Homo-oligomer: A and B are copies of this chain.
Amino acid sequence: MRRFDSEQLAQLDASYRRNLINCLPGYKPLQLIGTQNAEGATNLALFSQVIHLGAAPPLIGVLFRPHTVKRDTLENILATRCFTLNQVLPEWHVQAHWTAANWEGSEFDATGLKEERKTSFSAPFVEGSPVQLACLLEEVQTLQINQTVLVIARIEQVFVAEKSLREDGTLDYDALGTVAVTGLDEYHQGQSLGRYSYAKPGIYPSKI
């Protein structure tokens, strides 16, 4: 095992440290966030700092870097109070990565990813994404420690590929085939090892 203590971590080259620390959480959820500004100009941005906050009501969190420079996605969310989350498929994960470039216009036009409109919601979805969430801003919390911004949103509508939806409400990710991310630039497919029974003392978990 390679060990880095706090002093070594502090002295690492900034790029090396950014790579290492971003890799430490493990596999992270990958979401394209679709927004538009007050004038209707669309934006699409790739995020991995997404966290389940609660099921009832259904809440999800997205963490943004400090709002010290222009951040289109965050500003659009603050202005319109709505956004979409769209999971990414292997077939277009490179286009998803490309949304991170500093484009002049909309990332939809630039990368070739297609906008999908649903009559019931005003932010754009990504066409072909098998898990699409319509989210409404509930709260914004700035973390004192490093000025990152936690956007707390209510999941207002859920669209999931029919084939992935199991009878108990879980999603079959082997059937979905969506992508995870590690660090800042590496994408992964998953393969299920199985689901396990509710954990009880003295009874070794069995596959369900």
Contacts and interface: CB of A to CB of B under 8 A. Distances in A.
Interface of A: 1-6, 9-10, 12-31, 48-61, 63, 85, 87, 90, 93-94, 97-104, 110, 120, 130-133, 138-139, 141, 143-146, 148, 150, 152, 154-162, 165-166, 168-171, 173, 178-180, 182-183, 185-201, 203-205, 208
A60 B10 CA distance: 15
A192 B187 CA distance: 6
B29 A52 contact: no
Copies of this polypeptide in the complex = 2
What DSSP secondary structure best describes chain A's contact surface? Answer: mixed
Contact of A138 (B1, B51, B145): B145
Contacts of A170: 19-20, 23, 182-183, 185-186
14 contacts: A1-B159, A2-B161, A6-B157, A13-B169, A14-B56, A15-B168, A16-B169, A21-B54, A26-B30, A27-B27, A28-B52, A48-B52, A150-B150, A187-B196
Given A131-B26, A168-B15, A196-B185, A152 B145 contact: yes
Contacts of A155: 9, 21, 24
A166 to B, nearest CB: 8
- What 9 A-B pairs come out closest when comparing CB atoms? A19-B169, A26-B29, A16-B169, A27-B180, A101-B199, A100-B199, A20-B169, A188-B190, A21-B55
